[in-house]
Amino acid sequence: MIEFDLFVEKVVLHNKLATSEYLQQAKDYLASHPEMELSELLVRAKVLSQGQVEKVREKYNLTVVGEQSAISEQSSVSQHGATVSAAQTAGSQPAAGAIEHLNGVAVEPPVSAPAASICADPATFTTIEQYLGYARQLGASDLHINAGAAPLIRKDGQLQPLLRQPFTAQESKDLLFSVLDGAQKEILTAQMALDTCCQVAGLGRYRSCFAHQSRGWDGSFRIVDQQVPSFEALQLPEQLKQLTEYNQGLVLLAGPGGCGKTTTMAAMIELINQQRDEHIITMEDPIEYVFTPVKSHISQRQVGAHTLSFSAALRAALREDPDIIMIGELRDRETATLAISAAETGHLVFASLHTTGAGQTISRILDFFPADQQGQIRSMISESIRGIICQRLIPRSDGDGRALALEILFNNTAISNLIREDRMFQLPTMMQINRDKGMCQLEDSLQQLVEAQVIDGVEAWFEATNKTPFKQFQPESESSATVEEIDNGKN
Cα-based distances in Å from 72 to 67, 265, 471: 6, 57, 38
The answer, yes or no, to whether the previous bond of 229 is cis (omega within 30 of 0) is no
The region of weakest confidence among 65-74, 422-431, 442-451 is 65-74
Query: Residue 102 above 80 pLDDT?
Result: no
Residue type for position 299: S
| CB burial of residue 196 (10 Å; 0-12, 13-18, 19+) | buried
Distance CA 128, CA 106 (A): 43
In whole angstroms, what is the distance from residue 263 CA to residue 286 CA? 13
Domains of the chain from N-terminus onward: 3-86 (no CATH), 122-223 (3.30.450.90), 231-473 (3.40.50.300)
Query: Contact 391/406 with Cβ under 8 angstroms?
Result: yes
Q: Roughly what angle, to the nearest 10 degrees, separates helices 358-367 and 371-384? A: 140
Q: Nearest CA to 466 among 436, 432, 433, 434?
A: 432
- pLDDT tens, residue by residue, 136-175: 988 899 999 999 999 999 998 889 999 899 999 999 999 9
Inform me whether the pLDDT recorded for 237 exceeds 90: yes
What sign results for the dihedral spanned by CA atoms 157, 155, 27, 87? positive
pLDDT in tens, 205-216: 999 999 999 999
Q: For residue 388, how far is the Cα from the chain centroid?
A: 20
pLDDT of residue 390 exceeding 60, the answer is yes
Question: What's the pTM value of the predicted model, to 2 decimals?
Answer: 0.72
Q: Phi/psi at 10 (nearest 5 deg)? A: -70, -40
pLDDT at residue number 97: 37
In order, the DSSP letters of 288-316 are -SPPPPSSSEEEEEEBTTTBS-HHHHHHH
Neighbours of 217 (CB within 10 A): 23
User: Looking at the DSSP assignment, which residues form a beta bridge with residue 158?
Assistant: 155
Tell me the angle at which helices 3-14 and 50-60 cross, rounded to the nearest 10 degrees. Answer: 110
Q: What angle do CA 408, 238, 292 make, to 5 degrees?
A: 105
pLDDT of residue 487: 54
Is 118 buried (19+), middle (13-18) or exposed (0-12) by CB count in 10 A?
A: middle
